[in-house]
Amino acid sequence: MMGVFRGRWRVRDERGSFTISLAILAVPFFLLVLLIVQAGVYTHARQVATAAAQEGLRAARNLDGSGGAGQAQAGQLLAQTAGTTLRNTSVSARRHADWASVDVHGQVVSLVPGLTLTVDAHAEGPVERYTVEGAR
């Protein structure tokens, strides 16, 4: 029976309408949840890249440090902490007479289809030097 007449109005059978409504609303809801989780993954990846750049800078700016030491230290920290969060990472470090810098680049793992996010971190600072007390 498709419908029943009650008075002047025809009452329709609405069985199954909740299932269709749920199916229509489920896709945007799950997409929103994935975007929220993706934001958390991106924030974590950015923090890992920043920490690796800062750790590499500490090694590069030491008195006996070098650009290679900074690059190795940053790469080691990435290997220990990035896990599957960061992929295709690259580290570059430079040391000059007065300053050192480290750059970290990586691709964040994507939970949302078609979304590509990258992370870039940069750290720089002066290098350590011996100074003699009283001399300038």
The answer to whether residue 1 scores a pLDDT higher than 50 is no
Cα dihedral: 77, 125, 128, 135 (round 10) = -170
Domain membership flag for residue 86: yes
The pLDDT value recorded for residue 67 is 94
Between CA 86 and CA 110 the distance in angstroms is 10
Q: What is the pLDDT of residues 46-86, one digit of tens each?
A: 999 999 999 999 999 998 899 999 999 999 999 999 888 99
Q: Which domain range does residue 33 map to?
A: 13-126
Read off the pTM.
Answer: 0.78
Dihedral-angle region of residue 23 (phi above 0 means left; psi in -120 to 50 means alpha; beta otherwise): alpha
User: Is there a domain that residue 5 lies in?
Assistant: no
Count up the domains in the chain and report the number: 1
pLDDT in tens, 85-114: 999 999 999 999 899 999 999 999 999 889
Q: In this structure, is residue 33 part of a structural domain?
A: yes
CB-CB neighbours of 65 under 10 Å: 20
Whether residue 45 contacts residue 110, with contact meaning beta carbons closer than 8 Å, is answered with no
Asked if residue 136 belongs to a domain, the reply is: no
Q: How confident is the model at residue 6 (pLDDT cuts 50, 70, 90)?
A: low
Share of the chain above pLDDT 70, in %: 89
| pLDDT higher than 80, residue 9 | no
Rounded to whole angstroms, the Cα distance separating 106 from 50 reads 11
The answer to whether residue 3 sits within a structural domain is: no
Q: Is residue 119 part of a domain?
A: yes
What's the confidence (pLDDT) of residue 48? 97
To the nearest 10°, report the CA torsion of 80, 85, 74, 102: -170
